[in-house]
């Protein structure tokens, strides 16, 4: 594993919610970071069929454009009753014809798909969130860190915190959705903690333990 020896990195994302979450997680480590969106980089086409492939596409594009290490995240919602959908196409389920994204629409689409399968009870609505972080260097070297959190799809949506599908995902062992949790509750982790809750925090914890002298 290659250690990250600089505190200046690029967050390889154009997603405001994701950028904010990664900024919260890297903040305690003193990083100087700008996002691909801030730097005006073109958003690459995510043509991969796995979270790892898409994370690498984004991180390598930003690393090569900036000449700095870049950290990306590719994440998605994997629902058992839907054969793993939406999976790597999680963001696509929110896309409108004009190219904008509507996650209220996407959450309704998920519930309808489950109802069409007859999946109305919690045991039939099991799901997990996946986050794969990719740290890429300008020379093309990459490292991957995967985090997952189990839970249940609930309906109707609850809460207005977080982003994406958070209001319909209730993590296992909790009585509230991600959409009802503060950022601190959702991540469930800070430097020195043993446990982490969210998929992104779990992936980030592995990143810290592997690539940082923290």
Please give the annotated binding residues for Mg(2+), written as ranges. 45, 74
Residue with tokens 């940082």: 212
Strands (E), the chain: 8-11, 32-35, 70-79, 126-136, 142-153, 169-171
Are 211 and 1 contacting, i.e. CB atoms less than 8 angstroms apart? Answer: yes
Residue 152 pairs in a beta bridge with 126, 170
Structure tokens at 109: 């689409």
Q: Please give the DSSP secondary-structure letter assigned to residue 210.
A: H
Whether 74 sits among the annotated catalytic residues: the reply is yes
38, 74, 123, 193: the active-site residue: 74
Give the integer Cα–Cα distance in Å for 80 and 98: 30
Which helix (H) or strand (E) element contains residue 60?
A: helix 51-66
Distance of CA 196 to the CA centre of its chain: 14
Q: Which residues are annotated as a binding site?
A: 13-18, 45, 74-75, 163-166, 186, 199-200
Under a CB-based contact definition with an 8 Å cutoff, are residues 59 and 52 in contact? no
Residues recognised as catalytic: 74
């Amino acid at each position: 594993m290659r250690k990250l020896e600089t505190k200046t990195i690029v967050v390889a994302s154009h997603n405001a919610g994701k950028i904010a979450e990664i900024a919260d997680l890297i903040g305690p480590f003193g990083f100087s970071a700008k996002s691909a969106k801030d730097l005006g980089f073109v958003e690459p086409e995510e043509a991969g069929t796995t979270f790892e492939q898409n994370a690498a596409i984004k991180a390598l594009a930003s690393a090569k454009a900036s000449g700095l290490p870049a950290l990306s995240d590719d994440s998605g919602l994997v629902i058992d009753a839907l054969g793993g959908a939406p999976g790597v196409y999680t963001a696509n389920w929110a896309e409108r014809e004009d190219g904008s994204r509507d996650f209220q629409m996407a959450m309704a689409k998920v519930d309808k798909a489950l109802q069409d399968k007859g999946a109305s009870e919690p045991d039939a609505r099991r799901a997990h969130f996946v986050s794969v972080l990719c740290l890429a260097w300008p020379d093309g070297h990459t490292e991957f860190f995967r985090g997952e959190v189990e839970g249940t799809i609930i309906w109707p949506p609850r809460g207005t915190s977080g982003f994406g599908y958070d209001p319909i995902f209730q993590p296992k062992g909790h009585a509230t959705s991600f959409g009802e949790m503060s950022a601190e509750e959702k991540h469930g982790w800070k430097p020195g903690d043993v446990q982490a809750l969210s998929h992104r925090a779990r992936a980030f914890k592995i990143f810290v333990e592997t690539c940082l002298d923290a």
